[in-house]
Chain A
Amino acid sequence: MNDLWLSLPAFAQDLLILVALLLPAILTGAVLCAGFAPGPLVRAMIGRFRWVSLAFVLLIAVSVGMGTGLTSQERSLRTGLAAAADKFDIIVARPGSEITALLAAVYLQPSDIGLIGGEAYDRVATHPRAEIAAPLAFGDSFRGAPIVGTTEDFALYLADGALAEGRMWQDVPEALAGARSGLSVGDIVVPSHGHGAAADSEAHAGVEIVVTGLLPPSGSPWDTAILVPVEQVWETHGLVNGHAIGETHLGPPFDPESFPGTPAIVVHAADLASAYGLRQTFDNQDDTMAFFPGAVLTRLYAIMGDVRRAMSLMAVTTQALVAASILLGLFILSRLFRRQVALLRALGAPSRFILAVVWCFGAALILAGALIGLALGVAAAQVLSAIVAARTDVAMAAGIGWPELHLVAGFLSLVSLVALLPAWAVLRQPVAASLRG
């Protein structure tokens, strides 16, 4: 059985889980309504108590919206962060915090990390399994956009081999601008030292960099970055430019003796086996550590797992409280329409029909609330994603996924089963007394 389940495609598994979660509600409705036509009566009762019904629907919608919004946003954040790290097979940095190195190299967050020396860089760059070993250089910015020094190979790799516009840099004071940097080919960039409010615009006075090309969008913080030859950053900061005196070319090979140091090297391997081999070779060394960004993200999520569990617990607690409120509300509502129910019983309606009417009334409100809540959740997640994306430059696509559908289906079934209780309670009300009002 387990093998059969595992042999199914993910879509089929998710679909079956959804159906299984909905099954209690569907079966309850089918058993109660078989052979009856409660629809017009249910519509009439909803219309009769329209404002109370609307309040119910909104209560359920807000609850479901909060739950689905949180899960959708959390997933889109994880997906967005993972997608942004997609191009970064291996990061090699000085031994220290992998998370700090990850934030600096992949997400371009200003960080204070040690530098890898020329000898270590040379070992990485000359390793036969490393197709690209690009040093990164940070420290400057232009109108809030980080200026990142790197190599032509890596810039082209980021661009999937083709620039969106213009040409590759051919000289030190030339740059490629990210798709969302707001710059155009021909624009002049004057670097400020540092980032944000603390950036010093006078530190590199006289340095001007011409934008010669634009990168295609990648959905990562690199979309707002300005890429320059790594030599440009080193020279601007008064360092040696990585080449022996007399060497005039840009990019690798670099001279280990003239290498000023780099906070991180992005390594691209030809295949997975090579990537594992490279990580093993350069990890846990005296002067380097190497890691897969994806693996660090996974560990980061694991560290944050407790927070996620707490959030999930809060979401479930909220849903439980709402379910209790719905139960209480349905009991109150059942008191409101006890005369209508008593009338039906006086007309000879079977108990199952009464159950069907009261249950369908509750289930219709719950279903409407859940569907509106699902839409609210997606809208909330999209707003949150837009805010987070604006702050991190990580592209996020919040939307309805299987987890949200499963959450809503489970909620629907649970609450629709709970709705049987007030329906059953209605049957216990004395008919004669209810008819007299």
Chain B
Amino acid sequence: MPLSLEINDLVVRGRRGGRELVHVPHLSIAAGEAVGVRGPSGAGKSSLLFALAGLSPFVEGEVRWGTENIAAMRPARAAAFRRSHVGMIFQDHLLFEELGPDANAAIAGAFAPRAERAARRERASAALRRLAVPEGARKVETFSGGERQRVAVARALAGAPSILLADEPTASLPREASVKLTQDLLHAARERGATLIAVSHDLALLDAMDRVITIEHGRILETVR
């Protein structure tokens, strides 16, 4: 059954638990919803995204997904949660340049249980085909920015995630590639009923979302549908 994300009294702090970066009293994101997050640089958008992924060490409050509280998970449990339920996409792709698209998309298979590796490879391959990424032995360092970001999306989809978290996914892409990637991302998320949360300054991407949240100084200022 699809699960929603319920955020209550979430506080994300900076280095050594000092400065408060984000404070969200309450936020509810329905299962399968596509949410855009916007705001000026340093507003806390990415910090919120990393907290939702269980990657921030200094968090208080709740990020509830079903019976699980992501904010309270120990690092090992949070890593297992990401393996099973979360797909992440980053602004500058973060690919292994020396590997081909197939190996990059199926990279999580390297640490997945042996029995799951074949299925991961198949899903990665299917995602690459759906995103029209040229498969084969060519290293991704020879790819264009758009192709590289599509490989990163395929990598996120290969884990069959319930939650897709994207940090400025179109920021480094030209206009045409940006539009294509937005369509692909939304289509992939909707196809499998995944929740999509995308931090972006890209108005076209934000327009395509079900809802847009504006953050400033770590606080949610408004929510637009």
- Decide if B110 is an interface residue (CB 8 Å cutoff): yes
- Decide if A353 is an interface residue (CB 8 Å cutoff): yes
Q: Indicate with 1 or 0, residue by residue over A335-353, a CB within 8 angstroms of chain B CB atoms.
A: 0000110011111111101
- Decide if A436 is an interface residue (CB 8 Å cutoff): yes
- Decide if B82 is an interface residue (CB 8 Å cutoff): yes
* Contact present for A351 and B76 (CB under 8 Å): yes
Interface size class of A (residues with CB under 8 A): 20 to 34
Name the one of A43, A432, A437 contacting B47, with C-beta atoms under 8 angstroms. Answer: A432
* Contact present for A346 and B57 (CB under 8 Å): no
- Decide if B124 is an interface residue (CB 8 Å cutoff): no
Q: Which of B55, B76, B98 has the most chain A CB within a 10 Å cutoff? A: B98
* Contact present for A43 and B55 (CB under 8 Å): no
- Decide if B88 is an interface residue (CB 8 Å cutoff): yes
Name the one of B81, B94, B103 contacting A348, with C-beta atoms under 8 angstroms. Answer: B81
Please measure, in the bound complex, the distance between the C-alpha atom of A350 and the C-alpha atom of B109, giving whole angstroms: 12
- Decide if A47 is an interface residue (CB 8 Å cutoff): yes
Residues of A within 8 A of B46 (CB): 432, 436
Please measure, in the bound complex, the distance between the C-alpha atom of A349 and the C-alpha atom of B88, giving whole angstroms: 13
Name the one of A339, A349, A432, A437 contacting B79, with C-beta atoms under 8 angstroms. Answer: A349
Name the one of B55, B97, B110 contacting A346, with C-beta atoms under 8 angstroms. Answer: B55
Please measure, in the bound complex, the distance between the C-alpha atom of A44 and the C-alpha atom of B96, giving whole angstroms: 7
Interface residues of A in 1-59 (CB under 8 A from B): 35-38, 40-41, 43-45, 47-48
Please measure, in the bound complex, the distance between the C-alpha atom of A35 and the C-alpha atom of B111, giving whole angstroms: 8
Interface of B is mostly: helix
Please measure, in the bound complex, the distance between the C-alpha atom of A171 and the C-alpha atom of B110, giving whole angstroms: 84
Please measure, in the bound complex, the distance between the C-alpha atom of A417 and the C-alpha atom of B88, giving whole angstroms: 33
- Decide if B117 is an interface residue (CB 8 Å cutoff): yes
How many positions in chain B have a CB within 8 Å of any CB in the partner chain?
A: 37
Q: Indicate with 1 or 0, residue by residue over B54-81, a CB within 8 angstroms of chain A CB atoms.
A: 0111000000000000000001100111
* Contact present for A435 and B94 (CB under 8 Å): yes
* Contact present for B90 and A430 (CB under 8 Å): no
Residues of B within 8 A of A47 (CB): 98
* Contact present for B111 and A43 (CB under 8 Å): no
* Contact present for B98 and A48 (CB under 8 Å): yes
- Decide if B86 is an interface residue (CB 8 Å cutoff): yes
Residues of B within 8 A of A38 (CB): 110
Name the one of B57, B98, B113 contacting A430, with C-beta atoms under 8 angstroms. Answer: B57
What's the A-B contact tally at a CB cutoff of 8 Å? 89
Q: Which residue of B lies closest to A49 (CB)?
A: B98
In the complex where A346-B82, A432-B56 touch, is A48 in contact with B108 (Cβ < 8 A)? Answer: no
CB distance from B191 to the nearest CB of A (A): 21
* Contact present for A48 and B97 (CB under 8 Å): yes
Name the one of B75, B90, B114, B155 contacting A435, with C-beta atoms under 8 angstroms. Answer: B90
* Contact present for A348 and B99 (CB under 8 Å): no
* Contact present for B110 and A36 (CB under 8 Å): yes
Name the one of A36, A44, A344, A431 contacting B98, with C-beta atoms under 8 angstroms. Answer: A44
In the complex where A36-B111, A431-B55, A436-B46 touch, is A346 in contact with B99 (Cβ < 8 A)? Answer: no
Residues of A within 8 A of B84 (CB): 348
Q: Which of A347, A431, A435 has the most chain B CB within a 10 Å cutoff? A: A347
Residues of A within 8 A of B113 (CB): 35
Residues of A within 8 A of B15 (CB): 430
Q: Which residue of A lies closest to B108 (CB)?
A: A347
Q: Which of A38, A339, A340, A435 has the most chain B CB within a 10 Å cutoff? A: A435
Please measure, in the bound complex, the distance between the C-alpha atom of A175 and the C-alpha atom of B1, giving whole angstroms: 104
Q: Which residue of B lies closest to A346 (CB)?
A: B88
Residues of B within 8 A of A35 (CB): 113-114
Please measure, in the bound complex, the distance between the C-alpha atom of A349 and the C-alpha atom of B114, giving whole angstroms: 14
Residues of A within 8 A of B117 (CB): 37
Residues of B within 8 A of A45 (CB): 96, 98
Please measure, in the bound complex, the distance between the C-alpha atom of A47 and the C-alpha atom of B103, giving whole angstroms: 15
- Decide if B92 is an interface residue (CB 8 Å cutoff): yes
Q: Indicate with 1 or 0, residue by residue over B142-167, a CB within 8 angstroms of chain A CB atoms.
A: 00000000000001000100000001
Name the one of B53, B88, B92, B155 contacting A437, with C-beta atoms under 8 angstroms. Answer: B92
* Contact present for A349 and B76 (CB under 8 Å): no
Please measure, in the bound complex, the distance between the C-alpha atom of A351 and the C-alpha atom of B78, giving whole angstroms: 11
Interface residues of B in 76-132 (CB under 8 A from A): 76, 79-84, 86, 88, 90, 92, 94, 96-99, 103, 107-111, 113-114, 117
* Contact present for B110 and A339 (CB under 8 Å): no
Name the one of A36, A41, A348 contacting B83, with C-beta atoms under 8 angstroms. Answer: A348
Please measure, in the bound complex, the distance between the C-alpha atom of A432 and the C-alpha atom of B90, giving whole angstroms: 11
Please measure, in the bound complex, the distance between the C-alpha atom of A430 and the C-alpha atom of B50, giving whole angstroms: 11
In the complex where A38-B110, A431-B55, A432-B46 touch, is A350 in contact with B79 (Cβ < 8 A)? Answer: yes
Interface residues of B in 34-55 (CB under 8 A from A): 46-47, 50, 53, 55
CB distance from A425 to the nearest CB of B (A): 16
Residues of A within 8 A of B167 (CB): 435
* Contact present for A350 and B111 (CB under 8 Å): yes
* Contact present for B76 and A345 (CB under 8 Å): no
Please measure, in the bound complex, the distance between the C-alpha atom of A351 and the C-alpha atom of B79, giving whole angstroms: 9
Please measure, in the bound complex, the distance between the C-alpha atom of A350 and the C-alpha atom of B110, giving whole angstroms: 11
Give A residues with C-beta under 8 Å from B: 35-38, 40-41, 43-45, 47-48, 339-340, 343-351, 353, 430-432, 435-437
**Can you report 17 residue pairs joining A to B where beta carbons are below 8 Å apart?**
A36-B111, A40-B110, A41-B96, A47-B98, A48-B96, A344-B107, A346-B55, A346-B82, A347-B82, A347-B155, A348-B86, A349-B83, A350-B79, A430-B57, A432-B56, A435-B50, A435-B167
Closest 5 pairs between A and B when the two form their complex, measured CB to CB: A348-B83, A348-B82, A44-B98, A47-B98, A353-B111
Contacts A37-B117, A348-B159, A350-B80 given; 11 further ones with Cβ under 8 A? A43-B98, A44-B97, A45-B98, A343-B90, A343-B94, A344-B111, A347-B159, A348-B80, A351-B79, A432-B47, A432-B56
